[in-house]
Amino acid sequence: MKPCEEEGPGAAAGGDPWKECMEAAVQLARRAGQIIRKALTEEKQVSTKTSAADLVTETDNFVENEIISALKEKFPSHRFIGEESTAGGSKCVLTDSPTWIIDPIDGTCNFVHRFPTVAVSIGFAVNQELEFGVIYHCTEERLYTARRGQGAFCNEKKLQVSKETDKSKALILTEIGPKRDPETLKLFLSNMESLLKAQVHGIRVIGSATLALCHLAAGAADAYYQFGLHCWDLAAATVIIREAGGIVIDTSGGPLDLMSCRVIAAGTKEMAMFLAQEIQTIHYRRDDEN
């Protein structure tokens, strides 16, 4: 697959074929962050998508349009998967083509409530392999970045996951996901109960899957699991965690499937396997089935 050099001169400089793409992602994430920061305290038009807890605002749509149209102009042959474009009916399929995977506001429910844990997430895959990830924490102005094989950083400070292997010393992160039917809630609460009975130190839910995963990459928590997140919540964060030395796998303990809407991430293999053994599956439709 030809890299960004296809699109213009100087793109493949320094033997890093996707450098220009990553620079564009950083610039667009920062610009989106400014828009989101400003909109956070303003009145919003809020609608629901798959459930009463799955929210979207005009800012989600505006930011996604801004990012995708800027990237399309620069890289016309690339493909795009965006949270709001998918909600609007676009196909969510990962091919071998260079593909941008975008969540314009991760933590939309937080955004609606002015709870300041919101991020922009931009991941990039080629030949179905994740090449880089950029996540911008809009209110704290923290930029998380990682390029495959080149480490993970937060505002240029190198990230390193926790090396904790003992479940009784674990701080675990999760997110609730959009479904609220009785069966889903029963499984969600029973998973929490199992972990608490296993005597972990604590469980946290912050309302943004991408930022929770960034905390894991920074060593501020030991493990993460979730059912009901999407490829746009996972793409950029997966590169960041792996480059910070962590593990991102399927909830069964097998390899990650980006479209499966489920994940375990951890600083160590022991912690990941502990979660895989403890938690029960909550079924969600795959992203590429829509």
Catalytically active residues are 83, 103, 105-106, 108, 233
Classified as helix, coil or strand, 134 is strand
Q: Is 123 in the site for ligand IPD (CB under 6 A)?
A: no
Q: Is 287 in the site for ligand IPD (CB under 6 A)?
A: no
Binding ligand IPD by CB under 6 A: which of 233, 243, 246, 284? 233
Give the end-to-end CA distance of the chain in Å, rounded to a whole number.
27
Element holding 43 (H helix, E strand): none
Residue number, 137 or 147, with CB nearest to ligand IPD:
137
Q: Is 59 in the site for ligand IPD (CB under 6 A)?
A: no
Contact yes or no for 251/227 (Cβ under 8 A): yes
Q: Is 84 in the site for ligand IPD (CB under 6 A)?
A: no
Q: Which stretch binds ligand IPD (CB under 6 A): 17-25, 28-36, 104-112, 244-252?
A: 104-112
Q: From residue 77, how far is each of 93, 116, 254, 272, 283 by CA, in Å? A: 16, 36, 33, 37, 35
> How far from the centroid of its chain's Cα atoms is residue 34's Cα?
19
Binding ligand IPD by CB under 6 A: which of 106, 131, 243, 287? 106
What residue type is assigned to position 34 of the chain?
Answer: Q
Burial class, 48, CB count within 10 angstroms (exposed 0-12 / middle 13-18 / buried 19+): exposed
Closest distance of CB 168 from ligand IPD, Å: 26
Residue number, 123 or 228, with CB nearest to ligand IPD:
228
Burial class, 265, CB count within 10 angstroms (exposed 0-12 / middle 13-18 / buried 19+): buried
What is the number of H-type helices and E-type strands within the chain?
Answer: 8, 14
Closest distance of CB 217 from ligand IPD, Å: 15
Binding ligand IPD by CB under 6 A: which of 16, 64, 84, 103? 103
Residue number, 36 or 229, with CB nearest to ligand IPD:
229
In 29-128, beta strands by DSSP E: 46-48, 55-57, 79-82, 99-106, 119-126
Binding ligand IPD by CB under 6 A: which of 82, 98, 177, 267? 177
Closest distance of CB 206 from ligand IPD, Å: 8
Site for ligand IPD in 15-44 (CB under 6 A): none
Structure tokens at 114: 């002015």
Q: Is 176 in the site for ligand IPD (CB under 6 A)?
A: yes
Residue number, 56 or 130, with CB nearest to ligand IPD:
56
Structure tokens at 48: 């629901």
Closest distance of CB 103 from ligand IPD, Å: 5
Structure tokens at 148: 């495959």
**Neighbouring C-beta atoms of residue 118, cutoff 10 Å:** 29
Q: Which stretch binds ligand IPD (CB under 6 A): 91-99, 152-160, 196-204, 227-235?
A: 227-235
Binding mask 206-225 for ligand IPD (x = CB under 6 A): -xxx----------------
Footprint on this chain of ligand IPD (rule: CB under 6 A): 83, 103, 105-108, 175-177, 207-209, 228-230, 233
